[in-house]
Structures are given as C-alpha cells and as structure tokens.
Chains A and B, each alone.
Chain A
Amino acid sequence: MFGTAIIVFREVLEASLIIGILAAATRGVPNSKRWVIAGVLAGLAGSGLVAAFTDAIGSLASGIGQEIFNAIVLGIAVLMLAWHNIWMSSHGAALAASAKSAGRNIADGSSERSVLLVIVGIAVLREGSETVLFLYGIAASNDGGQSSMMLGGLVGMLAGIAVGYMLYAGLLRVPMRWFFAATGILVLLLAAGMASQAAHFLIQADLLPSLAAPLWDTSAVLPESGLPGMLLHSLIGYDSRPAGMQIVFYLTALVSIFTGMKLVARPRQTSI
C-alpha cells in the first residue's frame, strides 16, 4: 500500500503544484477558479483516453510515439506558460488593482482563461494518464491485495493534492507588491523545467543529441526520489543527472520568456 501511495503521490504532486501556482497567479482574472476546475475535468477525461490508447500512441513512429506525444504536450504547455507570463507582464498592474474590486472585467481576460484551461488540462493529462494506467493495472490484475493498493493510491492522491493546495494558499499570503513577481518567477521556472523535460523525451527517442550525458550527477546529494528532490523537480525542473541538451533547452526557455516579459512591460509614455 505504501509503495502505491508513493507512486500516485509523485504523479499527482507534479500536476497539483502546477495547478496551485497557476490558480494563485490568475487570482485577479474573473472566474479563474471555474476554468481551473474545467481544466482539471478536461485533463482527467483526456488522461483516461490517453491511458486507453497508450499502446497505439506508443507504437506510432516506430516505437517512439510516446516520447513524441509527451514532447509535443510539454511544448504546448511551455508556449502557454510563456504566453501567460507575457500577458501578465502587460496586465499585471491592472489585475493588482482589480483584485481588490470584484467584478471588473479585464479586456481579453477570456484568452487568458482559455490558456489557464489548457495548461491545467495538460498538467492533469500528463500525470493522470500514468496514474490511470497504473491503477487500472492493479485493478485488473489477479495478484490480490487490491483494496489496500487502491487505498494507497487514494492516500497518495490526497497527499499530492494537499501539497498543491498548501502552495496555492501560501502564495495567496504573499503581500500584493511581491505577489505577481513571485508567481511570475515560479511560472517562468515551471516553463523552463518543462522545456528541459521535453528535451529529455526527445533525447530518449534519439531525436536530439544529448551533448553531454550526464552533465552533472547530484544524485548522491539530492536524489529525485526523495521529497525535496521531487519538489525541486516539479517546481524548477531539477534533474539530478541532466543531459547537456536539457540545460540548453532550459536556459533558452528561461531567457526567451524573460525577455518577452521585459519587452512588453516597458512603461508606456504618457502624453503631457
């Protein structure tokens, strides 16, 4: 039961941290919570589909279909997160003001809400499909001990959700003057981490050279299997044995998105 709990916890944690950060980061956008929930539901439905079609996806492209699928999904997520951060950079001040007065409609807030839906949906889809497969395998097997394993899965899921919620609640407590900077940085690191993960899958599929593998090995000091390693992996894309190409993707995403944010945030010249 404990083993099952850990596996499900790990998967759910990755998604719930992303959702927690985004839910906090979009607090000023009207009805954002509804869109987060819609994203979660869409992601769950999607992950059921992906789990059912794992075989078909996997055998696409001579056996590397799964890696290509994951890389594409992650790539979409990176673009959406980049869009979100750049959007926030141009609307952040207006949102900070409106967060205090409810009901004010931000122009083109609807596009931000769709982006929110897509990112949340993708996060749940990726982690959910692995969890669905795993739990389905347990339920379908004749090994016995299923109820304790299912219970372990439930415990893991609740624990993962709890950590994500704690992050969300904690972020909401950040004073308003630092809030958008804090969530902006977290989203930036999320996007860079996902870019690194996408590179990892493409390397696994032999579609990208690894450059140096591994570039460093900190698995003795900070293994990904422990809780700190897990949190760092989900939040900033930490990898104890990254390939050189992953670092290239990470830094490229970081610099491009940051530059985009700075470019749109230039203060407008007021006419005198």
Chain B
Amino acid sequence: MKHILLIALLLPFSACAADYMLTIKDHQFQPAELTVPSGTKIKLQIENQDASPEEFDSHPLNREKVISGHGSATIYIGPLSPGRYTYTGEFHEATAQGAIIAQ
C-alpha cells in the first residue's frame, strides 16, 4: 500500500521538465551546442568545474544566473519554439559561448 501511495505521489513529477546538463570547464561550455525538444519546459543543470565563478547569460532565452566556482545551478527554460538560442558566460565571454537548439 505504501509503495502504491509513493508511486501515486511521484506520478505528477514524471510529467516535469526533463534534465539537460551543461558543464563549464576551462571557461568553455560543454557541449557547445545542446539540442532539446521544442514546445516543452526544459530543466537545465549547469555544473561549473572551474574554480572561478561564471554567469550564464542568455538574452534570447531571457535567463541569467551566477554560478560560483565548483558550484552548480538549475535553470528552467521554455517551452521554446524551434530555433537557435545563444548564450554566453558573461565573465569569460571570449571563450564561453554556446547555443541551445530547439527542434
């Protein structure tokens, strides 16, 4: 009975946003281009493997967040229409660039 209750409670969460991962290493985003499905909310996890902080900044996505050195952050984006949405690491713009492609 307990297990059924647990599953029943968790079911709504299975409809939640899917997890996608970005890593910051040596002031670069990996992967530089991330493909996600369009039309659905996306949960983006960003892990900063550098010692210095970075600010994930995207005007097309209207999102910005500071991530401390060796820290991680969660950002929700979307639902997105199909297209290419660029983002940068504001603290290291020359190398930290990438795009999210919604298909």
Residues of A at under 8 Å CB distance from B? 3, 7, 54-55, 58-59, 62-64, 66-67, 130, 133-134, 136-138, 140-141, 200, 203-206, 213-214, 219, 223-225, 239-243
B41 & A133 in contact (Cβ 8 Å cutoff): no
Closest A residue, CB atoms, query B79: A213
Q: Given contacts A54-B71, A204-B75, A205-B76, are A134 and B62 in contact (CB under 8 A)?
A: no
Q: Provided the pairs A66-B66, A140-B52 are in contact, do residues A206 and B76 lie with their beta carbons within 8 angstroms?
A: yes
B58-91 vs A, CB cutoff 8 Å, 1 = contact: the mask equals: 0110110111110111111000000000000011
Task: Report whether A241 and B62 are in contact in the complex, using a CB–CB cutoff of 8 Å.
Answer: yes
Cα(A210)–Cα(B52), bound, Å: 32
Chain B interface bracket (under 10, 10 to 19, 20 to 34, 35 or more): 20 to 34
Cα-based distance from A229 to B60 in the complex (angstroms): 15
Inter-chain contact A141/B51, CB cutoff 8 Å: yes
Contact of A213 among B62, B68, B72, B90 (CB under 8 A): B62
Tell me the complex Cα distance, A3–B92, Å: 9
Cβ–Cβ contact B53 & A134, under 8 A: yes
- Closest-CB distance, A49 to chain B (whole angstroms): 14
Ordered by A's residue number, 27 sampled pairs between the chains whose C-beta atoms are within 8 Å are: A3-B93, A7-B91, A54-B53, A58-B68, A58-B71, A59-B72, A62-B74, A63-B72, A63-B73, A66-B65, A66-B66, A67-B65, A130-B55, A136-B53, A137-B69, A137-B91, A140-B51, A141-B52, A204-B75, A204-B76, A205-B76, A206-B41, A206-B76, A223-B59, A225-B59, A240-B59, A241-B62
| Distance of A140 Cα from B69 Cα, bound (Å) | 11
Give the chain B neighbours of A54 by CB distance below 8 A: 53, 66, 68, 71
Is A133 a contact partner of B53 (Cβ separation < 8 A)? yes
User: Which of A62, A141, A223 is packed against the most chain B CB atoms within 10 Å?
Assistant: A141
Chain A nearest CB, measured from B9 CB (Å): 16
Do A224 and B91 have beta carbons less than 8 Å apart? no
Residue among A54, A136, A138 with max Cβ neighbours from chain B (10 Å): A54
* Closest 3 pairs (CB-CB, A-B): A63-B74, A137-B52, A206-B76
A20 to B55, CA, bound (A): 27
Kindly supply a per-residue 1/0 record for chain B positions 24-47, scoring 1 wherever the CB is within 8 Å of any chain A CB and 0 otherwise. Answer: 000000000000000001010100
Nearest residue, chain B, Cβ from A139: B52
Asked whether, in the complex, the Cβ of B72 is within 8 Å of the Cβ of A130, the reply is no
Query: What separation, in Å, do the CA atoms of A158 and B30 have in the docked complex?
Result: 35
Known: A55-B71, A58-B66, A62-B74. 14 other contacts (CB 8 A): A3-B93, A3-B94, A54-B68, A58-B68, A58-B71, A58-B73, A59-B72, A130-B66, A133-B66, A134-B53, A137-B53, A141-B52, A214-B62, A224-B59
- CB distance B67 to A58 under 8 Å? yes
Using CB atoms, name the residue of chain B closest to A63.
B74
Tell yes or no: B101 within 8 A of A by CB. no
Q: Tell me the smallest distance from the CB of A112 to a CB of chain B, in Å.
A: 33
Across-interface contacts of B69 in A (CB, < 8 A): 137, 140
CB-defined contacts of A219 to chain B, threshold 8 Å: 59-60
B99 at the interface (CB under 8 A from A): no
A57 closest partner in B (C-beta) = B68
A241 to B91, CA, bound (A): 22
